[in-house]
Amino acid sequence: MSTWRKLLRDPQAAVTGSILILIFAAGLSTPLLAQHGPNESDLSMVNAPAGTPGYLLGADESGRDILSRLLHSINTSAVSALIGTGVALAVGVSAGLVGGYFGARTRAIAEWAFNLVMTFPGLLLLILLMPVTGGDYRYTMLIFGVLLSPGIYRIVRNLVLGVKNELYVDAARVSGLGNARILGRHVLSVVRGPIIIAAAFMMGASIATQSGLAFLGVGSKEIPSFGDMISSGFRNLYVAPTQFLWPSLLLGLITASLVLLGNALRDTLAGSRPQPAKVGQGQRAEVTPQPPAAADPEALLEIRDLTIAYPGPGGQPREVVRGATLAIHRGQTVGLVGESGSGKTQTAFAVLGVLPDEAVVTRGSIVFEGRELIGLSDSEMRPLRGKQIAYVPQEPMSNLDPSYTVGAQLVEGVRSALGISKSEAKTRVLALLERCGIADPERTFDSYPHQLSGGMAQRVLIAGAVASRPKLLIADEPTTALDVTVQAEILDLLRDLQAELNMAVLLVTHNFGVVADICERIAVMERGQIVESGDVLEVLRGPRHEYTRMLLDSILDHTAPIREASR
């Protein structure tokens, strides 16, 4: 499995995993390695130094073989880890599955019970219960497992709540699967990764707690344990300093390895977090910018031979845009049409200078008002972006910050674009909101994004985009997430604003109807190449390229004959 291979390749996981395997394997082979019993004392060997024949690491204050005691302590800690973690998992996972999956009442009961458990003072409780457990560390660990379980319960419950509403769980329910089967097959597989990670940490906690209790001298003295050994080593610190060293070293190694392994597991299983985009560098380009030669004098924006590549799976660059050429004149609306993966959004992003970090412009040029954009740094791009070139995204909601009011966000944008005072900006924003068809601008100004409908949110974003009277507006599927009736209104708004401000619009869309409604020119993109471009009427009525024809044929016609009733 690739997950295993990934884990093996991760040095942290590989090293800590090997250390743990080595240590616990040594523990398992105690009968072979240990020459003495753990509690077998020989008074002639009291505080024997390391290297004494038969006593490789020496003997302790009671003349017991330190090596043998170490090996037995490994087993004690292994058993502690297994019991503690096992109980925590059994209780936490089953309660989490039930509490997350079933109704609110079940969840409330489970929640209450685990909150109660969490209020118990852990270590103190374990010591107080010693008379009940009879000093046996296994019973202590059992109780400790219960004390650990709320953490697991919370992880599992939250994951299950998230998965419960996934469509595939609904589909399983519709397929007639019982709850037990859905929980076992569909839900458990999702919570597996996080549980494995948490288990690694809990094992460390169990071992540390068991040793801690033994160090305090609580519990049976018969059981060899790191804590007990460290405590005895402490007492003999001035007589035989190394006695204290061995158990501390081993305990530290085990718990540290478990924690580091847990971290490595998290990185591998939970997927490494996406690298934060580096700000300030601008997009990467591997072209030597050439002076714009023989440029179209009318063009506001001219894209020539643009090629954008991403690193592919085998290290080979994978080109997502291949030699795209496109020109937009002042005040012109151009539709860039293509199916998903055709590279239309990448082309738009390249103009804005916001390509992701791993993307590289390998060829071509983008000239805006006679200035080459490729190779510009972020700070050189900033005066253009949001002022000369504005952007309207597809998902209006995810492009508004939920924790600020709409007004605050718009004012901030307008101020940074135009450098005007706060009150001026507010007046301006209110006027813009009204212009963009918002009935009650004052109220919308003070609203938070979640209080707006999708159409309203898109109007707000358009208002923000045109605030600086940009020369070019790039709209990436601006109406795809909206209802058709709202889409029609938004297109009307864009059309009116475009005429009013005489701005050019690059409209990225997959919908030929939208292009027909608002665009003068059209460019059709297929797998990174612009296969056909021209006047909208000409292209839509007489497509020359096969791909354009295929797309136009796929449109479900409003006038074509439809299915007859089959009955």
Partner 1 sequence: MTGPLLDITDLRVAFRPRGFRARPLEVLHGVSLQVGAGETLGLVGESGSGKTTIGRTVLGLVRASGGSVRFEGREIGGLGARQRRALAKDIQVVFQDPYSSLNPSMTIGDILTEPLVVQGATAREARTRVRTLLDQVGLPSDAADRLPREFSGGQRQRIAIARAIAPEPKLIVCDEPVSALDLSTQARVLDLFIDIQRRTGAAYLFISHDLAVVRHISHRVAVLYRGELVETGPAATVTSTPEHPYTRRLLLAAPVADPIEQRKRREARRQLTPHPTT
Residues of this chain that bind partner 1 (CB under 8 A): 166-168, 170-179, 181, 185-186, 189-190, 339-340, 435-437, 439, 454, 483-489, 491-493, 496, 510-517, 536-537, 540-541, 550-552, 554-559, 562-567
Nearer of residues 272 and 566 to partner 1, judged by Cβ: 566
How do strand 333-338 and strand 504-509 relate by DSSP bridges?
A: parallel
CA distance 173 to 190: 17
Indicate the residue among 97 and 260 with the shorter CB distance to partner 1: 97
- Residue 334 beta carbon to partner 1: minimum distance, rounded to whole angstroms: 14
Closest to partner 1 by CB, 133 vs 179, is 179
Question: What letter represents residue 205's amino acid?
Answer: A
Structure tokens at 114: 């685990």
**Whole-number minimum distance, CB 557 to partner 1, in Å?**
7
Interatomic CA distance for residues 162 and 245, integer angstroms:
47
Q: What are phi and psi of 521, to 5 degrees?
A: -125, 160
- Could you give the angle at the alpha carbon of 519 between the alpha carbons of 518 and 521, nearest 5°? 170
Q: Which residue has the tokens 């998230």?
A: 162
- Residue (66 or 522) nearer to partner 1, CB: 522
Contact, 504 vs 511, CB < 8 A? no
Amino acid residing at 545: H
Q: Checking phi first, is residue 133 left (phi over 0); if not, alpha (psi -120 to 50) or beta?
A: alpha
CA dihedral 61, 65, 70, 72 (to 10 degrees): -120
> H helices of 476-545, where?
484-501, 512-518, 536-541
Minimal distance, residue 35 CB to partner 1, in Å: 49
CA separation, residue 26 to residues 183, 209, 250, 252 (Å): 38, 22, 12, 16
Cβ proximity to partner 1, 447 vs 479, nearer residue: 479
Distance of CA 299 to the CA centre of its chain: 41
Phi, psi for 310 (deg, rounded to 5): -115, 150
The least CB distance from residue 546 to partner 1, in Å, is 12
Give the integer Cα–Cα distance in Å for 526 and 344: 9
- Shortest Å distance, C-beta 454 to partner 1: 7
Contacts 24+ apart (CB under 8 A), 116-120: 117/146, 117/147, 117/149, 117/150, 118/150, 120/147
Check residue 315 and report its DSSP letter: S
Task: Specify the pairing of strand 389-392 against strand 299-311.
Answer: unpaired
DSSP single-letter state for residue 50: T
Distance CA 210, CA 77 (A): 7
Answer whether 428's CB lies under 8 Å from 421's CB: no
Which 3-state string (H, E, C) describes 270-310?
CCCCCCCCCCCCCCEECCCCCCCCCCCCCEEEEEEEEEEEE
Upper half-sphere CA count for residue 178 (Cβ side, 13 Å) = 2
Q: What CA–CA distance (Å, rounded) separates 276 from 279?
A: 9
Query: Minimum CB separation from partner 1 for residue 521, in Å?
Result: 11
Judged on CB neighbours under 10 Å (0-12, 13-18, 19+), 59 is buried
Contact (Cβ atoms closer than 8 angstroms) between residue 34 and residue 62: no
User: DSSP 3-state assignment of 325?
Assistant: strand
